[in-house]
């Protein structure tokens, strides 16, 4: 392809030669683009991973699950359960109670959540046991514990059959471990890694509760979810909050999307700084290469040819910075996930309950109180791969347009006179 008297291959060669003649300046320009692209890629990949992890975990509850929570100032009682069981299209009703306790293992105190439920899949979605069995739905001091509780460190490992002492505000209680869950990182309603699960009535007695924290319903089919939700609202009015799994997923998606947009906007500032750096570098190179520009014009290169050479330099900087930023962004997102997951594990407590702050908060809750579940795997999509390189190219091209235009406007006589 010919552009004026110089083809694209010649422009690319001249552009590369111009960059390699000043390696330090070129490296700094590439690095400025790479830093901006790294910031965007790492944050987008991480938040995409967070979103997919939370949504997939919530989705394990099943599309026919409806959650009922007490509104502020209201409580869920056995009368509420009876009312829900009387509704049409309802297959089963599972009350859940939750509270806090502390345990002492190896001389170290650990805060845990105590969750009372007769059907573990109600709060976990999928029950993945590392060892042992699930307790029967009977009033007995039996427990299924999370992975972090079973492996507190210091060489201590709890096994099925071991006893665990729960220290609660109203006293201490001993429970026998029947099963140990596999590490999950995140569960739909409760953080399973730091929770002790008990039969409902046993937990009610231990926690000295007469009301429930949440009630989960299983309805006949997906099409009946909205019907049952409307019936619950009609029957109980403003005393309860009703949410289907799809509503929770939509809420979480909205929260994570907003967070992703905010973080990406902040990261984009570094791209702006990189663009300014490239523009400054290219303008400086124009003044440093006035003699070379004059020679280009003298041997017959047109304004468009000179413009193309300098724009090619910008494109090479952008492509190199975009590619480098993509690699660093992938590594950065993994490091970010490890850092935040490690911080969440270190800061876990049993405070907050199953549903602090409403459905959106409960859906995204971790033990550290945030919207960041552990065990996140960053997700780098093909769109992100292409977008990272395009961002680098566009930023560099836009930043290089003015310097390239200035270079192309120089006449041979003006270039020699300035030199």
- What are the distances in angstroms from CA 70 to CA 90, 205, 214, 248? 19, 20, 7, 16
Per-residue pLDDT tens over the stretch 222-262: 888 889 999 999 999 889 999 888 787 787 778 878 887 88
List the structure tokens of 143. Answer: 């427990």
> Mean pLDDT across the stretch 75-90?
92
pLDDT the model gives residue 416: 61
pLDDT the model gives residue 31: 85
pLDDT the model gives residue 6: 60
**Nearest one of 75, 73, 69, 94 to 358, comparing CA atoms:** 69
pLDDT the model gives residue 2: 44
> Mean pLDDT across the stretch 22-26?
76
The region that residue 94 occupies, defined by phi over 0 for left and psi between -120 and 50 for alpha, beta otherwise, is: beta
User: DSSP secondary-structure letter at 156?
Assistant: B
Per-residue pLDDT tens over the stretch 351-388: 333 443 443 343 333 333 344 455 677 888 888 888 77
Residue that wins the pLDDT comparison between 361 and 121: 121
Per-residue pLDDT tens over the stretch 381-415: 888 888 778 877 887 777 777 777 777 777 766 66
Confidence of residue 341 (pLDDT cuts 50, 70, 90): low
The full length of the chain comes to 419
- φ and ψ at residue 108, rounded to 5 degrees: -110, 135
Q: How far apart are the first and last CA of the chain?
A: 33
Confidence of residue 270 (pLDDT cuts 50, 70, 90): confident
Round the average pLDDT of the chain to a whole number and report it: 79
Burial (CB count <10 Å: 0-12, 13-18, 19+), residue 163: exposed
Per-residue pLDDT tens over the stretch 281-317: 777 767 666 677 777 777 777 777 777 777 788 888 8
Contact 391, 274 (CB under 8 A): no
**Nearest one of 366, 345, 348, 349 to 357, comparing CA atoms:** 366
Query: Most confidently modeled of 19-28, 48-57, 222-231, 267-276?
Result: 222-231
Contact 350, 111 (CB under 8 A): yes
pLDDT the model gives residue 369: 38
pLDDT the model gives residue 355: 43
Domain limits, the chain: 2-58+251-418, 65-220
Q: Which residue has the tokens 């947009």?
A: 261
- Distance (Å, whole) CA 163 – CA 150: 11
Contact 351, 63 (CB under 8 A): no
**Nearest one of 113, 147, 153, 152 to 131, comparing CA atoms:** 147
Confidence of residue 4 (pLDDT cuts 50, 70, 90): very low
Q: Which residue has the tokens 């845990």?
A: 112
DSSP β-ladder status, 2-3 and 65-70 = unpaired
pLDDT the model gives residue 362: 39
User: DSSP secondary-structure letter at 193?
Assistant: G
The alpha carbon of 203 is separated from its chain's Cα centroid by a whole number of angstroms, namely 33
pLDDT the model gives residue 274: 73
> Mean pLDDT across the stretch 174-189?
82
**Nearest one of 332, 341, 377, 254 to 43, comparing CA atoms:** 332
What residues are paired with 103 via a beta bridge? 110
List the structure tokens of 193. Answer: 């890694």
Helix, strand, coil abundance in the chain, percent, nearest 5: 55, 20, 25
The count of other CB atoms within 10 Å of the CB of residue 325 is 29
5 pLDDT exceeds 60? no
- Distance (Å, whole) CA 378 – CA 365: 19
List the structure tokens of 410. Answer: 């120089």
pLDDT the model gives residue 333: 82
pLDDT the model gives residue 316: 82
pLDDT the model gives residue 367: 36
- φ and ψ at residue 61, rounded to 5 degrees: -65, -25
pLDDT the model gives residue 361: 40
**Residue partners of 319: CB distance under 8 A and separation at least 6:** 389, 392, 393, 396
What residues are paired with 111 via a beta bridge? 102
């Amino acid at each position: 392809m010919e552009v004026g008297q110089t083809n694209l291959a010649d422009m690319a060669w001249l552009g590369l030669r111009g960059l390699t003649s000043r390696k330090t300046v070129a490296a700094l320009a590439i690095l400025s683009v790479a830093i901006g692209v790294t910031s965007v890629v790492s944050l987008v990949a991480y938040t995409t991973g967070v979103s997919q992890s939370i949504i997939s975990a919530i989705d394990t509850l099943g599309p026919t699950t409806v959650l009922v929570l007490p509104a502020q100032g209201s409580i869920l009682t056995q009368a509420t359960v009876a009312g829900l069981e009387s509704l049409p299209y309802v297959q089963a009703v599972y009350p859940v109670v939750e509270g806090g306790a502390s345990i002492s293992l190896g001389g170290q105190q650990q805060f845990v959540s105590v969750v009372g439920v007769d059907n573990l899949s109600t709060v976990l979605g999928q029950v993945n046991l590392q060892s042992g069995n699930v307790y029967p739905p009977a009033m007995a001091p039996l427990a299924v514990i999370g992975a972090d509780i079973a492996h507190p460190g210091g060489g201590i490992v709890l096994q099925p059959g071991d006893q665990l002492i729960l220290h609660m505000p109203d006293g201490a209680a001993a429970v026998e471990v029947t099963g140990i869950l596999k590490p999950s990182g995140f569960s739909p309603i409760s953080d399973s890694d730091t929770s002790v699960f008990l039969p409902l009535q046993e937990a009610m007695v231990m926690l000295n509760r007469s009301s429930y924290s949440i009630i989960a319903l299983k309805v006949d089919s997906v099409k009946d979810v909205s019907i049952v939700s409307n019936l619950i609202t009609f029957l109980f009015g403003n005393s309860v909050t009703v949410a289907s799994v799809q509503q929770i997923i939509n809420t979480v998606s909205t929260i994570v999307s907003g967070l992703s947009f905010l973080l990406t906007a902040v990261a984009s500032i570094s791209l702006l700084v990189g663009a300014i750096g490239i523009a400054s570098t290219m303008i400086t190179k124009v003044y440093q290469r006035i003699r070379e520009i004059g020679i280009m014009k003298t041997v017959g290169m047109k304004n468009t040819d000179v413009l193309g050479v300098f724009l090619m330099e910008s494109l090479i900087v952008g492509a190199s910075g975009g590619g480098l930023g993509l690699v660093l962004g992938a590594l950065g997102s993994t490091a970010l996930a490890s850092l935040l997951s490690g911080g969440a594990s270190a800061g876990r407590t049993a405070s907050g309950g199953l549903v602090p702050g409403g459905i959106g908060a409960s859906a995204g809750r971790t033990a550290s109180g945030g919207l960041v579940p552990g065990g996140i795997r960053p997700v780098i999509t093909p769109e992100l791969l292409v977008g990272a390189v395009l961002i680098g190219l566009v930023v560099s091209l836009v930043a290089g347009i003015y310097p390239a235009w200035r270079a192309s406007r120089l006449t041979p006589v003006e270039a020699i006179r300035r030199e």
